[in-house]
Chain A
Amino acid sequence: MNLDKTKPIRTQCPTFILACFCFIALASTQCGRSSDRTSDVKPTITVLYPSDERVLGPYEDETPKFLVFLPLVVLNENGALEGRLAKSWEHSPDYRTWTIHLRTDVRWHDGVPVTAHDVKFTLDLLSHPEVLQESPDAYTVTVLDDSTYTITYNKRSLNPLDTWRIYYPKHLLEDLDPGNFESWEFWTHPVGNGPYRFVRHAPKTMMEFEANPDYYRGKPKIDRVVLKFGGSSLTELLSGNVDVLTYVHRMDLLRLAGDPRFRSYHAWPSHLWLNAIYWNHRHPLFRDPVIRRALTFAINRYELAKVLNYPDDVPLSDVIPTPRQLRQGLVPAPLPYDPQKAQRLLDEAGWRHLDGDGVRERAGEEFRFTAIVASRVSLAASLEKAAVYVQSQLRRVGVQMEIQALENSLAKRRLLAGEFEAAFYLFNSEAEHPFGPIRFLGEGSPISYVNPKVIEILNAAKSTMNPDERDRLYRELFPIFHADMPLTFLFPLMETHVAHRRIQGLSSPYRPDPVWFMEDLWLEEED
């Protein structure tokens, strides 16, 4: 069977061909243009950010908000507190009442001065029952004058003078309904008091900001910042569409290795997350602290960090430090990698090589267990890779660890219920965090760790707001942790950002996030 051979096939489908031509013609009007190249006239940085235009909203809790809004204080490049909205501050001896003196030269972008009334309005709003960003009745704010207020914490606050909280303009928002808090148009058209002013936004695509010429610290050197919304994508960086990638996975950095165009910067989050191995102390293998120490000796954690492409200065520890202790380097050195010592401890505990299969035995039982691993728990965690590495390390000392990868929620449930032998998961250093010391090392511990002294110290740490006292209490835990080794900490979670080399002013670990510290950055002219 044949079609009409007197006519070419292409003429027998004119409509289809015409439609294709129109589509290609329209699309080709854009060929060759560099669509995401923003203005080349003013210094501009384009940042690929994994969010959308709600990124300045109250529930997203992301660093772009610092482009537009000021916190009370920031951490400077040395890790010390430095005032922004706040000029100075005092506190009561028990740290529960703070008196904040605000700067008087800061204005909202519409020209209205920032006052203590704005701060009170914000804090009251956040504790509103419809908003629920803070616990109702958590604090009482009293305005003393336009630039001074006191805040008394009725309940212990985890963040009394934190670097994260920002404040909103009372004169623009006080008449809005808190019930629609998340839907306020303000979040996509903000009026702030920070180094950058909102210019425009395209839904699901981008937000543009311009340098605030009236900023009290002086107009930033970067004139224009564009947040381009999308996943963390190296292709955007490599194709030149963006200058900065935020929250890059450490393993993705390997693709940029040796590329002279980019630099990476890292930091550890202010409340510390640690990758950890949870040993279930109910399991006969892990009841003995000597065994737990032996297993820790058997793992080369520095090499593990290197395998996962962590920088050389990654802080490793066998104890839980406060963020301040970590910043100040007051954390004792971890147990060293010593497989010979690990083998000796296991021998002394009665676990020996008997049948030549490479797995130790004692009283007819092999040293074999299963470790659950949460998969894809976060962009930064590399728990699965860490588990595979630890498995090989333990195998060398005659311990057989099987790995069972579980979906994140299931792993979490089993961990909290104590339904595991060993587990790879994240641990938070903050005392009261649901994945923190009190939950796992206090009463009712899912890992069945029972040490009355630890419980006493943790309860004391939970009730104090005095950072010096908290540091002292955590220091008391150091020797206990070294002796008991209730968990084995591997390495902390890390934030990594990548920026084009022309962006100057960034550093690790206190100035890694270009979006957070945009006001202090500048562009180096390229040859």
Chain B
Amino acid sequence: MGWYVLKRLIQAVPLLLAVATVTFFIVHLAPGDPMDMFLEQRYRRNIDPEVIELIRQKYGLDQPLHIQYAKWIGNLFQGDFGESFRYRRPVSTLIAERIPYTLQLTVLALLLDALVGIAFGTFSAVKQYSAMDKTVTLGSLTIYSIPGFWLALMLVLLFSVNLGWLPTSQTRSLDYELLSWPGKLGDLLWHLVLPVFVLGIGSAAGTARYMRNRLLEVLSEEYIVAARARGIKERTVTLKHAMRNALIPIVTIYGMSLPFLLGGAVLIERVFAWPGMGLLAVEAVGGRDYPVILATSMMGAVLVILGNLLADILYVFVDPRVSYGGAKKV
């Protein structure tokens, strides 16, 4: 297993280099000038065109593209993502500030997705054709079809504006700093309720449907029939034998969800004014903030590679037939 992981990581290097190169040239060849941000209407004072040109030189934007690429790749290998054109701060600092906020959201959303989706999918499969099954099927189809941002806005309207039960936006209350630590924890969780719910419930609906279908397939397999014939309890048959096989593709899906952890909540971040990575990346694209665009793209690529690797590793635990570094077990 160790050699397998090492081999995959080594293989990832040329792949990441290719991603970096393609991303760099695509971003730079797209129309738009990063210095256009100084022409934005939010600037009340007209910026001296000479200053704009000096800033362009400072960031090397006046250099030929291949020179810019060489410098950027060289810095990348040293872990230096450069400085944001818009914020004039190191990109790594910007990202480090925002990652915790995004992870709070997406990790909890993934947990909600997994717990609720798998649970309801299992119940639905076990109680096939029952009222509960129909309810779960219809409900998951409905929720899956609803755009996340619309659901978010409706929930905000109901629970925040009309009922006043939950906050409208942000990660914490204005007087958060004055709270005791249990109060702070409660405040954080209180602010997480709506965005986590919106982000997680849509995915959970999809997971529930997938889990249901997958479990129904597995429950009709011959080895399940044989297990029942041997007198094994139904609960053991379902949870120990059937679910484990049904979970194999779902493990793949969650492994591939790793990139989602950092960039999959843009719309929700916008609705709830959540200062996360997704929002940073989208604003960077709109403002042609090349260093931020490139850094977030590279992070996404790394996460995809790691996600794939994680999914492959998890296979070993979920499916004992799978082994790396040796013959397949029979």
A:178-201 near B, CB below 8 Å: 181-183, 200
* A378 at interface by CB-CB < 8 Å: yes
Chain A interface, >50% SS class = loop
When distances are taken between beta carbons in the complex, the residues of chain B under 8 Å from A78 are none
Selected contact of A204 from candidates B46, B171, B288, CB within 8 Å = B171
When distances are taken between beta carbons in the complex, the residues of chain A under 8 Å from B228 are 1
A135-B169 in contact given A1-B126, A27-B190, A61-B43 (Cβ < 8 Å): no
Are B48 and A435 in contact, with the CB atoms below 8 A? Answer: no
> Which of A33-41, A93-101, A307-315 contacts its partner?
A33-41
> Which of B51-59, B61-69, B202-210, B316-324 contacts its partner?
B51-59
Most A CB contacts (10 A, CB to CB) among B55, B165, B167, B235 go to: B167
- Min CB distance B161 to A, Å, is 5
A238-B43 in contact given A52-B275, A409-B36 (Cβ < 8 Å): no
* A430 at interface by CB-CB < 8 Å: yes
Are A202 and B174 in contact, with the CB atoms below 8 A? Answer: yes
- Min CB distance A140 to B, Å, is 16
* B211 at interface by CB-CB < 8 Å: no
What separation, in Å, do the CA atoms of A359 and B93 have in the docked complex? 58
* B222 at interface by CB-CB < 8 Å: no
- Min CB distance B233 to A, Å, is 8
Are B219 and A270 in contact, with the CB atoms below 8 A? Answer: no
Most A CB contacts (10 A, CB to CB) among B166, B174, B219 go to: B174
> Which of B9-17, B181-189, B305-313 contacts its partner?
B181-189
What separation, in Å, do the CA atoms of A270 and B43 have in the docked complex? 10
What separation, in Å, do the CA atoms of A407 and B30 have in the docked complex? 11
Are A435 and B186 in contact, with the CB atoms below 8 A? Answer: no
Selected contact of B164 from candidates A2, A19, A34, CB within 8 Å = A34
* A440 at interface by CB-CB < 8 Å: no
> Which of A106-114, A157-165, A342-350 contacts its partner?
A157-165
- Closest residue of A by beta carbon distance from B132: A9
Total interface residues in chain B, CB < 8 Å: 69
* B326 at interface by CB-CB < 8 Å: no
- Closest residue of B by beta carbon distance from A157: B48
When distances are taken between beta carbons in the complex, the residues of chain A under 8 Å from B51 are 132-135
A:96-155 near B, CB below 8 Å: 129, 132-136, 138, 155
Interface 0/1 of A1-34, CB less than 8 Å to B: 1111000010011001001000100110111101
Are A230 and B273 in contact, with the CB atoms below 8 A? Answer: yes
Are B164 and A158 in contact, with the CB atoms below 8 A? Answer: no
Selected contact of A233 from candidates B93, B119, B238, B273, CB within 8 Å = B273
What residues of chain B have their CB less than 8 Å away from a CB belonging to chain A?
30-33, 36, 39-46, 48-51, 54-55, 58, 87-89, 93, 97, 101, 115, 119, 123, 126, 156-157, 160-161, 164-177, 182-183, 185-187, 189-190, 192-193, 219, 228, 233-235, 237-238, 270, 273, 275, 286, 288
Write 20 A-B pairs (CB below 8 A) sorted by A numbering. A4-B234, A27-B189, A30-B186, A30-B189, A35-B167, A35-B174, A129-B54, A132-B55, A162-B45, A164-B44, A183-B93, A228-B170, A228-B174, A230-B169, A230-B170, A235-B156, A235-B161, A273-B41, A408-B286, A410-B32
What residues of chain A have their CB less than 8 Å away from a CB belonging to chain B?
1-4, 9, 12-13, 16, 19, 23, 26-27, 29-32, 34-36, 38, 46, 52, 54, 59, 61-62, 129, 132-136, 138, 155, 158-159, 162, 164-165, 181-183, 200, 202-206, 208, 226, 228-231, 233, 235-236, 238-239, 241, 269-271, 273, 378, 380-381, 407-410, 412-413, 426, 428, 430, 432-435, 493
In the A-B complex, the 5 residue pairs with the smallest Cβ-Cβ separation, listed nearest first, are A409-B32, A230-B273, A30-B190, A35-B173, A182-B88
